[in-house]
Each structure stands twice: as structure tokens, then as C-alpha cells.
């Protein structure tokens, strides 16, 4: 059933409808094929029987017009009135409008008419069909270029025109017959492409093949090749035409794995291109069969029959840049856009104006605008990235080959990504597919392997990412030393590998670290230095909080997701921005002062710092100056007299990391979640404590594995050197994030915290602790740490408990430790006591962190009757009131301080006096 007004666009012949229904094609498509076959026969007749020596110019001019009118009427029926009205109206403008304004009047009228047709079509048609708008779009190109050519010929001097404008300029309006023949020429009237009037006039006059001292060019070989290619494309369409782009948004295809779904996306877009290949290559073949299309000779003396070629399929499919792709696609339209827009607007408006005109020329369907907005973005991004990166790869043929492969694949992905909304016309399903591609959560190809080991996909991806980082570090240290690779290559490798690993792990989530890092760079580049410190903390932290908030509502269980990368990256954002401000803080030793940088680093080394593959997934963070020295090769100078011990250190770290992984695999069933299950709660209290200790140790083993492996990967790549110890041995602990011995055997909670997540502790000290008033330091540090971790209530229970315990342990140590340090036996008893108390405090404070929820945390703390909090509060508020503060006494040699209360001091004085009396006697 026709919709009202449908005949406005398509009212063609119905003679092929029975055949169309049998072969599964639309009658509009068969009419197009018939029209092209008619034009092919007409072209052969014209070339064989109507050359310039056999018939008059009038016959050669009239024949294309008559055949073109017939084809249009067969395909569009009464809708042919629109091309006729457009052509006649434009002719009147050319004839009677002053030359100074003729180009503007022609452009406004032609585009206005097409604008009206597109606008009307937008409300009438719900799906794509071959209708009169295709012919109208080609005619608008012809009308406007003719108007500009007339304006250039009449009103401009030769020195004001470029070479192409000089060639196309005309000084008078064509005759009616010449004009109609040009507009309705059968070779290009249905699907294009645009041919310029001066070229068509030479063809009709027989001047297009005149080449001095050369034989007469023959189009036979070129035409046969093109017609053969178009037949091949038609076969593909017949066999696979049923796979339309809309299918990838259907439930059937959405059930596929992401990789298969993305592959289908690429396939359906490729099949859409095949349809255009067919019609444009066939039209080019028709033009060549008629003798039209000769464009001189190439550098090898071969004939070029590409004057009306509108697409180069092989070049397009093998293109390595988005611009190269566009240059091979709809070539005549690109020429038209350049003639009427790009070359005639201010330089800073060229790209935007060209894409806007292209979008309006295509129509009003929202999918077109989504495609052209994406295309403009990709074009600019490709241009800047090519300028910034390509020259860095040209010196080394292997690097250039790698660059070519990456750009080839990127171009194919970008092409499929950008053109989907265009071929579907509407905002959906293009927008839906964009969202699905954007919010993908990592590679699932190793999910079967994960199930074997009892992991989820993200966990197995994490282990594989560490293995990949290990290999990448080996490659880096062997082939990209500072002697055989530039700083830019080392930076590009480090950052590029990190981004690839990040995409492998988190897929769509990579957009968040990219946005965070680039926004932070813009802040440092464009904001006053007095604002940089605050903005580089607030804006990345706000970004992280939004991600944490979404994670809190949408993820019910712990998973390895993009937040871990963002948590490390926000530390780097703060460290580099604080170093740039050259701030120094009083009462801070050298260990707690940032190494300043004098100027904003270049973007390449900055991205490498943010995305370095060694520590991207797990941390720790480190200062930019240390990383810059590593990239520039200034971080380590090997001693000739003594061999480096880095291999031994790496070996130990890898072994320890593997041991902790095995511990986790063996005991992972004894998770902290078991501590609040009825079975474990009913156990005797000391049994329950043992299982809690086992659970918290298993939890820590997971972090030990990740941090040890990350540290080892840094050292393998040559990063992590931190000077020499007192024995002259190299220290490779710059990227060490945990000291397991000091954590597991710590005698105080502070000692445990100082050796756990060392990079984060230093970040908190540099960004908060050293910058707050003394009375607010501890509280402010724990608040930032809690927010930085996320919104789960269990985190806040843990950090509140840790803040209370830290103050309590400090007070307890201050008031009670002096009584035990004078005797080695008493000190040993004190150490044993504090060791076990610290173990209990860690269990009490850390398990709610793992439980995450407030309800489970309260159930767990109830098993202690909240005794930890009560005891800590008593120590903080009661002990200072009951007990007097011990007195600090300096020894005579001033080398160490000794604590004693008043009684110990008096006793010591009496003892000294007694000894003096004995000596006197």
C-alpha cells in the first residue's frame, strides 16, 4: 500500500514486479538495473554509429538527452517532474541572473529545491528506496558547478583562479540543447557521477581524444574490465544482499559473542559498499563504452579512463587512513564539495562547512548527521595523529610496517563505525550499536580457560595481561634501549602497549582513562598555575567518583574493572600536576618532597607516563621525573666494577609472586565472606579467629601476586632503580608497592600501613597529609583514601576503624612503651603482645573492607562485641587523663632518645648519686 505522497519520489514502471518478488529484490532495484542495461546498449550504439565523423553534433547532443529522459521516466514515472523543474529553473537563473550573483542564485535555488524534496521525503518514507532524489542530487551538483563556472568565466580574472577553475570556467550560457544533453546524459543521469560541463562539451564536440603525436585512445579494455568488475559485484549482491545492516541490532545477533557481533557489523557495512561499487563502476563502464572518460596518460604512458570514475574499490579497501578512504569514495562528490565549498570559504571553516554541505545534500535523516559528525571527527583526529606520529616510524622499515598494519585495521574499524548510521538512515539502530560498542567490558575469548581454573573472564584476562606485559618488557629492554631507539619511540611503545592491554582488559572502559588523562593535560596546559593543584585533584577525583557511583549501583560483586586503572591514574594526575607547580612544604624531608618539573611535558611522554604498561593495571604510581629519566635513559648507570643484581631481584620477585598466586588458588575458598556465615560463626571463638586470619591472608595474597609481578615487570624493562643501599648493593624498589615481611610481621598498625600499598600511602602523604593543618591530617588522609576506594559502606567502616586504631596505637605506644624498653626481656614481651594485637586489629579492621556491605560488616563486628572500637576509644580519651605523659630525656651523647616516667627518672638519679659516693670512698 502506498503512503500518501509516495508518488512524489517513485512512480516508476511495475513491469518487473513479478520477477522482483520471485528473486527477493525490489522493483525499484530491477528498474535501476534495466535502466543501466539500456544505457549500456545506448553507449555501444553511440560509440559505434555516432562518432564525430559519422553524424552531426546535433545528433550527438540529442541522443544522450532522449535516452536519459526515457530512462528517468521508466524508473521514476511522474516523479520526473522534479528533475525537469530543477533544470528549467536553474537554466533561467543562468540566463538572466547577473554574472556577479549567478553562482549564489544557482546554489540557493538548486539546494533549496533539493532541501524541500529531502524535507518532504523525511516525513513520507520510512525506509530506503531508489527514488528520484538520487537523480536530483546529481543534477544539483551539475547545476551548481555550472553556475560557479559561469561566474568564474564572466567575473573573475585569470590570476584570481586556480588551475582547475580556469579549466572549468565558461564565458557564456550553454544552448538549451547542450544544457539538456548535459543534464540528462544517459551515462550518469541515474546514479552519477558528476561530470563537468567543459569535459562533456569536449566529448560531444569530439575534442576529448585529441592528443598530439599519439595514437587514438581506445576505451575497450578499460570498459570491459569495469563491466566485469560490476558483474562480480552484482553476484555478491544477489548472494548476500539479504544481510542488511539492521540485522546487527536484532535479538538474534545480539546474542552472539561481542567479537562475532562486531565481525557481522563489519560484514554488513562491507556489503553495503558493494552496492555502491556496482552502480558506480557500471556507470563508469557505460561512459567508457560510449567513448567518454579519457583523462590522458599516466607516467608509464598508459591510457587513463578515469575522468568519470566515482570509486576505486581496491584502493578504498586497502586504505590506511580515513582521509585516503574518503578520497577513493564518491570521488565526483568530493570534487564538487571542493569546488563549491572547500575552496571558497575561509581556511578555518573549510572542514566544518564541507561536512555540513555534504550532510544537507544527502538529506534530513538523523543517521546521516551522526555519520558526518563522526566522519569530521575521525578526519581531524586522523590528520593530527598522522602529523604527530607517522614521521616517527619512517626511519625503521619494521616500525613503518607495524604502523601501516595498525592504521589499516584502525581505518577499517573507523569506516564500519562511522557509516552504520548512514546506511540505516535513522538514529537507531546506529546509536544503539554505538552504545553497545562503547560499553563493552573486555575480551571474552579466554572465558573457557577461566572456567577451568574457576575464574571469571576478567581475572584470567588480568593474568594474561601480566604475562603479555612480561613479554613486552623483555622486548623493550632488548630492542628499545636508549642506544638503538629514540625517546619518542620508547615513549610510544610504553604508552601504546599500555593502551592495548587496557583495551584487552576493559574494552569500552578505556574511554575513561583516556578522558581523564587528556583533561588533566589540558588543565596543566591552559589554566593558571595557582589553580592547577586543586583542579588536577578535584576534576579527576570527580570523574572517579562518578564511576564508583555507577559501579556501586550496577555491580553487585567484586570484579576487576576499569576503576583500578583510574585509581592509579588519578594518583599520577596529582603527582605530575603538583610537581609542575614547584610547591615545597615546610617540615617535609627529602623523601616526602616531590621532584619538580620546570615545564609541561610533551604529549607523547605524558601519555606514556599515564598508560605505561608496566604498572597500568595494578600500580603503583610514581613520580614523573623518575619515569622521564627512565625513558631518556638517565635513571641508571651500570657499574663496570660490579655486575648488576637486577636479574636476581627480578627472579625473586617473580618466584614470590607465583607463590602468592598458588596460595590464593589453594585457599581462595576460605574467603572473608565465610566469616559471617552461620557455620563459621558457630565455631569456637579462637577457631573462628584462625579462619578469619586465613581469609584475610588469602585476600592479601591476591594483592601480593599482582604487586610483585608488576614490580618484576618494571625491573625487567629497566625501570625501578632507586640508588644503592649501605652495602653498595643496587636497590630496585622504586616501583615496589608492598613489603610482605614488614606487613606480616609488623608490630604496629602504622608499620603495617606504611608497608602496604606504598605508592598510595606516599600519594596520600604528598597530596593531603603534608598540606593540611596538623590536627586534621589523619582524618583528612583517611577520608580521601575512603573516597578514592569507592562507595561501598564496608570501605568506610574499615577506614574509620583504621583512623581510630591509628590514633589509639600512637597514644598507647607513647604512654606504655617507655616502661618496657629499658629491659630486653620486657621489650620482647611488649613486641610479642603488640604483634598479636596488630594481627587482631588487622582482622577486625580489614575484613569489613572485603565484605563491602554495611550489614555484613556489622554482623562481623558483633562477633567482637565492637570491642575493638570500645578499647580504642578508651585509649584515646581515658589513658591521657589517668596516666601522666612520659618525659623525654636525652642521653649525654645526644645520639638517641630514651623515654622514662618521673619515677624512673628519680630512680636513675639516685643510682647515679650512689655510684658517685662509692667512687669517692
The pLDDT of 511-536, averaged and rounded, is 85
Q: Measured between alpha carbons, how far is 302 from 315 in angstroms, rounded to an integer?
A: 19
Choice between 135 and 823, residue whose per-residue pLDDT is larger: 135
The region of weakest confidence among 137-141, 456-460, 509-513, 759-763 is 456-460
Q: What is the pLDDT of residue 469?
A: 93
- Alpha-carbon 436 to chain mean position: 14
Name the band, by pLDDT with cuts 50, 70 and 90, for residue 679.
Answer: confident
Q: Which three cell numbers stand for residue 180?
A: 539538456
Q: What is the pLDDT of residue 531?
A: 83
Q: Which three cell numbers stand for residue 744?
A: 606480616
Sequence-distant (6+) residues with CB within 8 A of 887 are: 899, 900, 901, 902, 905
Q: What is the pLDDT of residue 891?
A: 42
Smallest Cα–Cα separation from 809: which of 728, 750, 868, 882? 750
899: enclosing H helix or E strand:
strand 897-900
Q: What is the pLDDT of residue 749?
A: 87
Specify burial of residue 769 (Cβ count, 10 A radius: 0-12, 13-18, 19+). buried
- Alpha-carbon 393 to chain mean position: 21
Distances 314 to 51, 325, 329, 409, 776 between C-alpha atoms, Å: 33, 10, 11, 15, 68
What number of other Cβ atoms are within 10 A of residue 380's Cβ? 13
The pLDDT of 613-624, averaged and rounded, is 91
Q: Measured between alpha carbons, how far is 710 from 472 in angstroms, rounded to an integer?
A: 12
The pLDDT of 177-184, averaged and rounded, is 94
Q: What is the pLDDT of residue 543?
A: 84
Name the 3-class secondary structure at 147.
helix
Q: Is the pLDDT of residue 659 over 80?
A: yes
Helices 132-155 and 176-183, axial angle in degrees (round to 10): 140
Smallest Cα–Cα separation from 145: which of 92, 116, 102, 96? 102
Q: What is the pLDDT of residue 122?
A: 73
Q: Measured between alpha carbons, how far is 268 from 274 in angstroms, rounded to an integer?
A: 10
Distances 734 to 275, 458, 647, 901 between C-alpha atoms, Å: 59, 28, 16, 41
Q: Measured between alpha carbons, how far is 698 from 904 in angstroms, rounded to an integer?
A: 45
Name the band, by pLDDT with cuts 50, 70 and 90, for residue 9.
Answer: low
Sequence-distant (6+) residues with CB within 8 A of 234 are: 33, 278
Q: Measured between alpha carbons, how far is 513 from 511 in angstroms, rounded to an integer?
A: 6
Q: Is the pLDDT of residue 278 over 70?
A: yes
Q: Are 237 and 270 in contact (CB under 8 A)?
A: no
Q: Are 264 and 256 in contact (CB under 8 A)?
A: yes
Name the 3-class secondary structure at 887.
strand
Q: For 297, list phi and psi in degrees, rounded to 5.
A: -125, 150
> What does the longest C-alpha to C-alpha distance in the chain come to?
149
Q: Is the pLDDT of residue 912 over 80?
A: no
Q: Are 618 and 500 in contact (CB under 8 A)?
A: no
Q: Is the pLDDT of residue 822 over 90?
A: no
Q: Is the pLDDT of residue 492 over 90?
A: yes
Smallest Cα–Cα separation from 145: which of 120, 174, 116? 174
Name the band, by pLDDT with cuts 50, 70 and 90, for residue 913.
Answer: very low
Q: What is the pLDDT of residue 312?
A: 93
Sequence-distant (6+) residues with CB within 8 A of 803 are: 778, 779, 782
∠ Cα 28 33 37 (to 5°): 145
DSSP β-bridge partners for residue 787: none
Helices 132-155 and 81-96, axial angle in degrees (round to 10): 10
Smallest Cα–Cα separation from 234: which of 465, 29, 13, 11? 29
The pLDDT of 772-782, averaged and rounded, is 83
Q: Which three cell numbers stand for residue 105?
A: 542564485
Q: Which three cell numbers stand for residue 267?
A: 560484514
Q: Is the pLDDT of residue 707 over 90?
A: yes
Name the band, by pLDDT with cuts 50, 70 and 90, for residue 741.
Answer: very high
Choice between 626 and 18, residue whose per-residue pLDDT is larger: 626
Q: pLDDT tens digits for 825-882?
A: 888 899 999 999 999 999 999 999 988 888 999 999 999 999 999 999 999 999 888 8
Q: What is the DSSP string of 285-333?
A: HHHHHTT-----B-TTS-B---TT--B-HHHHHT-SSHHHHHHTBSHHH
The region of weakest confidence among 161-170, 554-563, 583-592 is 583-592
* b/e sequence 621-637, b meaning 16+ C-beta within 10 Å: bbbbbbbbbbbeeebbe
Q: What is the pLDDT of residue 902?
A: 46
Q: Please give the positions annotated as active site.
A: 330, 362
Sequence-distant (6+) residues with CB within 8 A of 196 are: 145, 149, 168
Q: Measured between alpha carbons, how far is 795 from 292 in angstroms, rounded to an integer?
A: 76
Q: What is the pLDDT of residue 87?
A: 94
The pLDDT of 368-381, averaged and rounded, is 74
Q: Measured between alpha carbons, how far is 795 from 64 in angstroms, rounded to an integer?
A: 80
Q: Measured between alpha carbons, how far is 361 from 357 in angstroms, rounded to an integer?
A: 6
The pLDDT of 782-802, averaged and rounded, is 88
Q: Measured between alpha carbons, how far is 166 from 101 in angstroms, rounded to an integer?
A: 19
- Alpha-carbon 159 to chain mean position: 46
The pLDDT of 190-211, averaged and rounded, is 84
Q: pLDDT tens digits for 98-138?
A: 888 899 999 999 999 998 888 877 776 555 567 788 899 99
Q: What is the pLDDT of residue 907?
A: 46
- Report the mean per-residue pLDDT for the chain: 83
Choice between 417 and 611, residue whose per-residue pLDDT is larger: 611
Q: What is the pLDDT of residue 743?
A: 92
The label of the residue with cell 558528476 reads 194
Q: Measured between alpha carbons, how far is 910 from 568 in angstroms, rounded to an integer?
A: 58
Name the band, by pLDDT with cuts 50, 70 and 90, for residue 715.
Answer: very high
Q: What is the DSSP string of 676-717?
A: GSHHHHTS-HHHHHHHHHHHHHHHHHHHHHHHHHHHHHHHHT
Name the band, by pLDDT with cuts 50, 70 and 90, for residue 1.
Answer: very low
Smallest Cα–Cα separation from 341: which of 333, 350, 332? 350
Q: What is the pLDDT of residue 592?
A: 58
Q: Is the pLDDT of residue 894 over 50?
A: no
Name the 3-class secondary structure at 258.
helix
The region of weakest confidence among 379-388, 800-809, 824-833 is 379-388
Q: Which percentage of the chain shows pLDDT scores above 90?
A: 36
Name the band, by pLDDT with cuts 50, 70 and 90, for residue 455.
Answer: low
Q: Measured between alpha carbons, how far is 730 from 480 in angstroms, rounded to an integer?
A: 23
Ranges 88-92, 269-273, 803-807, 876-880, most confident: 88-92
The pLDDT of 506-533, averaged and rounded, is 84
3-state SS string for 521-588: HHHHHHCCHHHHHHHHHHHHHHHHHHHHHHHHHHCCCCCCCCHHHHHHHHHHHHHHHHHHCCCCCCCC
Q: What is the pLDDT of residue 582?
A: 65
Name the band, by pLDDT with cuts 50, 70 and 90, for residue 460.
Answer: confident
Q: Is the pLDDT of residue 614 over 90?
A: yes
Q: pLDDT tens digits for 290-347?
A: 999 888 888 888 888 989 999 999 999 988 888 888 889 899 998 899 888 888 888 7
Q: Is the pLDDT of residue 426 over 70?
A: no
Q: Is the pLDDT of residue 585 over 60?
A: no
Q: Is the pLDDT of residue 773 over 90?
A: no
Q: Is the pLDDT of residue 754 over 60?
A: yes
Name the band, by pLDDT with cuts 50, 70 and 90, for residue 388.
Answer: low
Q: What is the DSSP string of 350-416?
A: HHHHHHHHHHHHH-S-HHHHHHHHHHHHHHHHHHHHHHHHGGGTSSSHHHHHHHHHHHHHHHHHHHH
Q: For 36, list phi and psi in degrees, rounded to 5.
A: -70, -35
Q: Which three cell numbers stand for residue 206?
A: 569530439
Q: What is the pLDDT of residue 62?
A: 94
Q: Measured between alpha carbons, how far is 268 from 396 in angstroms, rounded to an integer?
A: 37
Q: Are 690 and 844 in contact (CB under 8 A)?
A: no
The region of weakest confidence among 98-107, 455-464, 739-748 is 455-464
The region of weakest confidence among 22-26, 86-90, 331-335, 735-739 is 22-26
Q: What is the pLDDT of residue 113?
A: 93
Name the 3-class secondary structure at 890.
strand
Residue 387 φ/ψ region, left for φ over 0, alpha for ψ in the -120 to 50 degree band, beta for the rest: alpha
Amino acid at each position: 500500500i502506498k503512503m500518501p505522497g509516495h508518488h512524489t519520489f517513485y512512480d516508476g514502471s511495475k513491469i518487473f514486479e513479478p520477477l522482483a518478488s520471485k528473486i527477493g529484490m525490489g522493483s525499484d532495484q530491477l528498474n535501476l538495473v534495466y535502466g543501466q542495461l539500456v544505457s549500456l546498449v545506448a553507449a555501444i550504439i553511440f560509440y559505434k554509429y555516432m562518432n564525430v565523423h559519422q553524424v552531426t553534433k546535433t545528433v550527438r547532443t540529442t541522443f544522450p538527452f532522449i535516452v536519459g529522459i526515457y530512462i528517468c521516466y521508466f524508473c521514476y514515472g511522474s516523479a520526473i517532474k522534479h528533475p525537469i523543474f530543477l533544470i528549467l529553473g536553474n537554466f533561467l537563473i543562468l540566463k538572466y541572473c547577473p554574472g556577479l550573483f549567478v553562482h549564489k542564485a544557482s546554489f540557493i535555488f538548486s539546494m533549496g529545491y533539493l532541501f524541500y524534496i529531502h524535507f518532504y521525503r523525511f516525513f513520507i518514507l520510512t525506509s530506503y528506496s531508489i527514488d528520484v532524489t538520487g537523480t536530483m542530487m546529481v543534477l544539483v551538483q551539475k547545476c551548481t558547478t555550472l553556475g560557479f563556472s559561469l561566474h568564474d568565466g564572466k567575473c573573475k580574472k585569470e590570476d584570481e583562479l586556480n588551475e582547475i577553475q580556469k579549466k572549468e570556467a565558461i564565458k557564456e550560457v550553454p544552448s538549451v540543447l547542450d544544457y539538456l544533453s548535459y543534464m540528462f546524459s544517459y551515462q550518469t543521469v541515474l546514479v552519477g557521477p558528476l561530470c563537468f560541463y567543459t569535459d562533456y562539451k569536449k566529448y560531444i564536440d569530439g575534442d576529448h581524444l585529441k592528443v598530439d603525436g599519439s595514437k587514438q585512445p581506445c576505451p575497450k579494455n578499460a570498459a570491459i574490465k569495469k563491466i566485469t568488475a560490476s558483474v562480480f559485484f552484482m553476484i555478491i549482491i544477489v548472494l548476500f544482499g539479504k544481510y542488511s545492516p539492521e540485522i546487527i541490532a536484532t535479538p538474534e545477533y545480539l546474542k552472539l559473542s561481542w567479537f562475532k557481533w562486531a565481525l557481522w557489523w563489519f560484514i554488513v557495512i562491507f556489503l553495503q559498499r558493494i552496492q555502491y561499487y556496482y552502480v558506480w563502476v557500471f556507470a563508469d563502464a557505460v561512459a567508457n563504452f560510449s567513448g567518454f572518460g579519457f583523462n590522458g596518460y599516466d607516467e608509464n604512458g598508459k591510457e587513463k579512463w578515469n575522468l568519470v570514475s566515482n570509486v576505486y574499490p581496491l584502493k578504498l579497501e586497502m586504505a590506511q587512513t580515513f582521509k585516503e578512504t574518503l578520497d577513493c569514495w564518491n570521488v565526483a562528490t568530493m570534487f564538487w564539495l571542493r569546488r563549491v565549498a572547500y575552496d571558497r570559504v575561509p581556511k578555518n571553516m573549510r572542514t566544518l562547512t564541507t561536512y555540513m554541505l555534504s550532510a544537507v545534500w544527502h538529506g534530513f535523516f538523523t543517521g546521516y548527521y551522526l555519520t558526518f559528525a563522526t566522519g569530521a571527527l575521525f578526519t581531524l583526529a586522523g590528520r593530527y595523529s598522522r602529523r604527530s606520529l607517522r614521521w616517527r616510524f619512517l626511519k625503521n622499515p619494521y616500525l613503518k610496517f607495524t604502523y601501516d598494519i595498525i592504521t589499516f585495521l584502525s581505518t577499517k574499524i573507523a569506516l564500519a563505525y562511522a557509516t552504520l548510521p548512514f546506511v540505516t538512515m535513522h538514529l537507531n539502530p546506529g546509536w544503539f550499536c554505538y552504545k553497545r560498542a562503547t560499553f563493552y567490558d573486555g575480551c571474552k575469548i579466554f572465558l573457557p580457560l577461566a572456567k577451568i581454573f574457576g575464574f571469571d573472564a576478567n581475572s584470567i584476562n588480568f593474568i594474561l595481561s601480566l604475562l603479555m606485559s612480561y613479554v613486552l618488557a623483555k622486548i623493550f629492554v632488548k630492542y628499545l634501549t636508549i642506544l638503538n631507539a629514540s625517546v619518542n619511540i620508547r615513549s610510544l611503545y610504553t604508552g601504546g602497549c599500555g593502551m592495548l592491554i587496557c583495551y584487552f582488559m576493559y574494552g569500552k572502559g578505556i574511554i575513561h582513562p583516556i578522558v581523564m588523562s587528556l583533561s588533566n593535560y589540558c588543565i596543566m596546559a591552559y589554566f593558571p598555575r595557582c589553580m592547577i593543584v586543586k583542579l588536577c585533584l578535584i576534576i579527576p577525583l570527580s570523574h572517579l567518583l562518578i564511576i564508583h557511583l555507577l559501579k556501586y549501583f550496577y555491580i553487585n560483586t567484586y570484579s576487576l574493572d576499569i576503576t583500578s586503572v583510574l585509581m592509579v591514574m588519578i594518583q599520577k594526575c596529582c603527582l605530575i600536576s603538583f610537581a609542575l607547580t614547584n610547591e615545597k612544604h615546610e617540615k617535609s624531608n627529602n623523601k616526602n618532597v616531590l621532584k619538580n618539573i620546570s615545564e609541561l611535558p610533551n604529549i607523547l611522554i605524558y601519555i606514556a607516563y599515564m598508560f605505561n604498561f608496566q604498572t597500568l593495571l595494578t600500580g603503583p604510581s610514581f613520580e614523573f621525573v623518575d619515569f622521564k629519566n627512565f625513558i631518556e635513559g638517565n635513571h641508571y648507570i651500570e657499574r663496570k666494577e660490579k655486575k648488576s643484581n637486577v636479574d636476581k631481584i627480578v627472579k625473586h620477585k617473580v618466584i614470590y609472586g607465583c607463590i602468592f598466586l598458588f596460595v590464593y588458588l589453594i585457599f581462595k575458598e576460605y574467603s572473608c565472606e565465610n566469616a559471617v556465615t552461620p557455620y563459621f560463626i558457630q565455631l569456637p571463638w579462637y577457631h573462628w579467629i584462625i579462619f578469619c586470619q586465613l581469609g584475610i591472608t588469602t585476600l592479601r595474597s591476591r594483592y601480593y601476586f599482582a604487586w610483585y609481578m608488576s614490580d618484576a615487570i618494571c625491573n625487567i624493562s629497566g625501570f625501578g632503580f632507586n640508588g644503592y643501599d649501605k652495602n653498595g648493593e643496587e636497590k630496585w624498589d622504586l616501583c615496589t608497592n608492598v613489603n610482605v615481611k614488614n606487613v606480616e610481621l609488623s608490630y604496629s598498625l602504622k608499620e603495617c600501613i606504611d608497608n602496604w600499598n606504598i605508592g598510595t600511602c606516599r600519594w596520600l602523604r604528598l597530596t593531603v597529609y603534608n598540606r593540611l593543618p596538623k590536627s586534621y591530617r589523619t582524618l583528612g588522609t583517611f577520608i580521601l583514601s575512603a573516597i578514592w576506594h569507592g562507595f561501598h559502606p564496608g570501605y568506610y567502616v574499615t577506614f574509620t576503624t583504621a583512623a581510630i586504631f591509628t590514633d589509639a596505637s600512637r597514644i598507647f605506644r607513647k604512654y606504655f612503651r617507655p616502661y618496657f624498653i629499658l629491659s630486653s626481656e620486657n621489650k620482647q614481651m611488649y613486641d610479642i603482645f603488640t604483634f598479636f594485637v596488630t594481627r587482631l586489629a588487622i582482622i577486625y579492621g580489614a575484613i569489613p573492607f572485603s565484605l563491602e556491605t554495611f550489614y555484613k560488616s556489622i554482623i562481623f563486628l558483633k562477633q567482637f562485641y565492637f570491642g575493638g572500637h570500645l578499647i580504642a576509644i578508651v585509649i584515646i580519651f581515658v589513658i591521657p587523663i589517668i596516666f601522666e605523659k612520659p618525659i623525654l630525656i636525652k642521653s649525654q651523647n645526644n645520639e638517641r632518645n630514651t623515654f622514662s616516667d618521673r619515677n624512673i627518672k628519680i630512680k636513675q638519679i639516685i643510682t647515679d648519686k650512689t655510684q658517685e659516693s662509692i667512687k669517692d670512698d
